Structure 1
Amino acid sequence: MTDLRRTGPDRRNSFDVVRLIAALSVVLAHQLNIAGYALPGYGQPSIGLGGPKLADAGLYVFFALSGYLVFQSLDADPRTGRFLSARALRIYPGVVVNVAMCTVVGAIVSTLPASAYWGAAETWRFLVHNATILVSPTEFQLPGVLTESPWPSVNVPLWTLKYEILCYVVLLIVFKATGGSDRIRAVVLTVLTALAVGWFVYDRGHPPPATGGLDTLGSFSGVHVVRFFAVFLSGATCGAWRLTTPRRRLSVTAVIGLALATTPTAESRFVVAVLAIGLGGLMIGSSRLLFSRAYHGFGDLSYGTYLYAFPIQMFTMTHWLNAENFWGLTALDVLLALACAALSWRFVERPALRWKQGRRHGPMPDTAPLAQPV
């Protein structure tokens, strides 16, 4: 795998920091959304440039970076077995431990007796569906857990992981179909990106009937497939055309700005805004703008933050939120999520990466290259 995180003359980048900012934007959006069920004046905000929501903005950055970094990984080593094992070892150890911990803690805080909790089919669906990721639907509730909450969901963000894996499979197919030709691969990715973007614009103008609730998140949805494909493939296309050199970053930024200024319809403007957010994160991530040796030493905390923040938020906000303590609880939740993320990186994610790297080339350095899933 291409070493994109190791420091050096050409390796100092801002990917770790940008990923953490994206994760924290999702955390803040969920915090505001959860508070909106109980307090007036709160709710998940939309941002400018056409109105994508704050949590979605973080997801778009994740998918754009993932498309770029996973392309780099496949470009360096396109062997199918190694690619699939690398992706599995990056995603699954963290999520399996997270789901297991949520299930065990759920037994402790559930209003049901232990026998009823462990005997409930809902408990085992939560464990199996979420730990395997691809078994649909993603399960959000545990029996007797958070029943006093107007939104009794344990870990909603898990819903995006199935789309991340689907994107990996599509990119692998592109590599296999285009053989060893870099130019053909770049052209194919450009065409696929254009098709996904066009479909995304169409969907914005012709939205499917709303079903409401978490139904649209639990199962695979064509709407989400299209928008995540558009952003992921745009990141991969940037990798294929080598668009992250300093001069080309400026060109990409100029093209995005021109598109935002000249796009004629609200639907296309929204989609351009989505691409601007995702690719803007990629351009910053590939630069040295936010590079920090101090933060680099902590490892990648973004995945753990994404996995652990929501259960923490739901518990604290359900039991302790009042009109005066929103920002105090937010600070507490962020600190607890970062602590869990650090533990996940130290004892789960990094050992898995070291084991993977050891199977290939021997011991892995502390700062392992990786492509962050959502």
Structure 2
Amino acid sequence: MSKTQYHVQTLAETFNPKLNALNAVRLLLAISVIVWHSFPLTGQPRPAPAVTQLLGEGGVDGFFAISGFLIVSSWMRRPQWWAYLKARALRILPAFWVCLIVTAVVIAPLGVLLSHQAFPHTYVADAASYVVKNAGLRITEVGIAGTPTNVPYPGVWNGSLWTLWWEFLCYLGVLALGLTRLIRLRLTMPAIFVACLMGVVLADMGAVNNFYLVNGARFGLMFAAGALIYQFQHLVPARWSVVASAAGLTAAASLLPDYRVIAALPLAYLVITIGARVKVRRLRLSNDVSYGTYIYAFPLQQLLASAGLYVIGVPLFAIAATAITLAVASLSWYAIEKPAMRLRRSRARTSEAARAVLDRV
């Protein structure tokens, strides 16, 4: 056999930034979060521990892994702090702020009406507080004037937004590593991954129970796993057989008290490599509704629960919630997210044009 017949295509050779299915993978992860939330929001008991780990935490963990891969890639391609920070802020904040306002002004009032409850006399003030106090990404208020009520999971309008603060902290961590040039050192990401892994293990043992340390270790571990996949993409094979092995290892790890101890890297490899290898143009999803799906799903599920639809059971409730969430997420994409991204690109083009003019002077 010729030498080329032994060549194994790597992830770096497989991944095409303009033709991949990572947006489709993220959308599936967001839908998995809808399915998971359909259990507590309909008052049903949690499924088996293994399913709880994969369905209840795997969706968000997969998001962080993909973010680690893409965000580190973004910095390495264009290591400019202002452009980087502006791009991250424009991608997350405008749609997030609108979601807070829509929840306070539209979704929550509809929920109160559908649950046949009187509006609390403090509703207007509490709604304003909900928007203002949560606007900095760190969620400090989850309900509005005690609503929603008469639902299986009362007092919480959006139980998903709290993870965005951790996501943005990871972005700032990449920025700090980039500005100090530590991100270019070969041992930096492995060291961060090991440190976060140790934090997860200590948390599982009960040696660490601080909220910030526990969640910082969890989300940092998954983000660092994606970053590691990016760093060693020239060595990582992109084969379906390895994908299958990673899926099997992740599933087996779900039998442990914390599947991430074993499955952090396999899960990161799984979601990133599937996204890289699937090159069906219809699955490219240039219109990325995954973020809108994630931020709107919980309040819309609570709206359905306020209408009494929690009695239809988890499968039908999840299907109904997914349908309405995708519709609202599409509006978020076309009305808020896509224009914000155009703003980012238009400013970049303006800067490049200005530099070109100066170069000719």
Give your verdict on TM over 0.5.
Answer: yes
Cα distance change, pair 101–80 in 1 and its aligned pair in 2 (3 A):
same
Pair 1:276-2:276 in alignment: no
Aligned to 2:202: 202
Shift in Å at residue 226 of structure 1? 0.4
Pair 1:237-2:228 in alignment: yes
Cα distance in structure 2, aligned partners of 1:61 and 1:190: 19
Pair 1:124-2:135 in alignment: no
Q: In proportion to residue count, which structure has more helix?
A: 2
Cα distance in structure 2, aligned partners of 1:164 and 1:85: 15
**Contact 1:243 / 1:252 at 8 angstroms: preserved in 2?**
no
Pair 1:145-2:144 in alignment: no
Q: Gaps (5+ residues) in structure 2?
A: 1-14, 352-361
Cα distance in structure 1, aligned partners of 2:109 and 2:309: 23
Cα distance in structure 1, aligned partners of 2:167 and 2:16: 31
Cα distance in structure 2, aligned partners of 1:43 and 1:16: 28
Alignment of 1:211-222 (within 5 A): 221-222=212-213
Identity of aligned residues (%): 28
Aligned to 1:63: 64
Cα distance in structure 2, aligned partners of 1:164 and 1:355: 22
**Contact 1:189 / 1:237 at 8 angstroms: preserved in 2?**
yes
Match of 2:216 among 221, 225, 229: 225
Cα distance change, pair 298–241 in 1 and its aligned pair in 2 (3 A):
closer
**Match for 1:311: what amino acid?**
P
Aligned to 2:21: 14
Aligned to 2:344: 356
Cα distance change, pair 156–272 in 1 and its aligned pair in 2 (3 A):
same
**Contact 1:16 / 1:300 at 8 angstroms: preserved in 2?**
yes
Cα distance in structure 1, aligned partners of 2:201 and 2:130: 34
Cα distance in structure 2, aligned partners of 1:253 and 1:222: 31
Larger Rg over CA atoms: 2
Aligned to 2:166: 163
Cα distance in structure 2, aligned partners of 1:60 and 1:315: 26
**Contact 1:193 / 1:233 at 8 angstroms: preserved in 2?**
yes
> Could you say what secondary structure the match of 2:19 adopts?
coil
Cα distance change, pair 116–358 in 1 and its aligned pair in 2 (3 A):
same
TM-score (norm. length: structure 1): 0.78
Shift in Å at residue 109 of structure 1? 4.3
TM-score (norm. length: structure 2): 0.81
Cα distance change, pair 9–63 in 1 and its aligned pair in 2 (3 A):
closer
Q: Please list the CA deviations of residues 131-165 of structure 1 after superposition, one character each: whole Å capped at 9, or x if unmatched.
A: 2213xx43210115221124221011001011001
Cα distance in structure 1, aligned partners of 2:34 and 2:90: 24
Shift in Å at residue 67 of structure 1? 0.4
* Farther off after superposition, 268-277 or 299-308: 268-277
Cα distance in structure 1, aligned partners of 2:220 and 2:272: 16
**Contact 1:14 / 1:284 at 8 angstroms: preserved in 2?**
yes
**Contact 2:293 / 2:326 at 8 angstroms: preserved in 1?**
yes
**Match for 2:39: what amino acid?**
L
Figure out how many residues of one structure are paired with residues of the other and give that number: 330
Pair 1:309-2:294 in alignment: no
Q: Please list the CA deviations of residues 195-231 of structure 1 after superposition, one character each: whole Å capped at 9, or x if unmatched.
A: 111221221122656xxxxxx9xxx622111010011
Pair 1:342-2:330 in alignment: yes
Cα distance change, pair 268–295 in 1 and its aligned pair in 2 (3 A):
closer
Cα distance change, pair 269–310 in 1 and its aligned pair in 2 (3 A):
closer
**Contact 1:200 / 1:226 at 8 angstroms: preserved in 2?**
yes
**Contact 1:238 / 1:244 at 8 angstroms: preserved in 2?**
no
Cα distance in structure 1, aligned partners of 2:250 and 2:341: 39
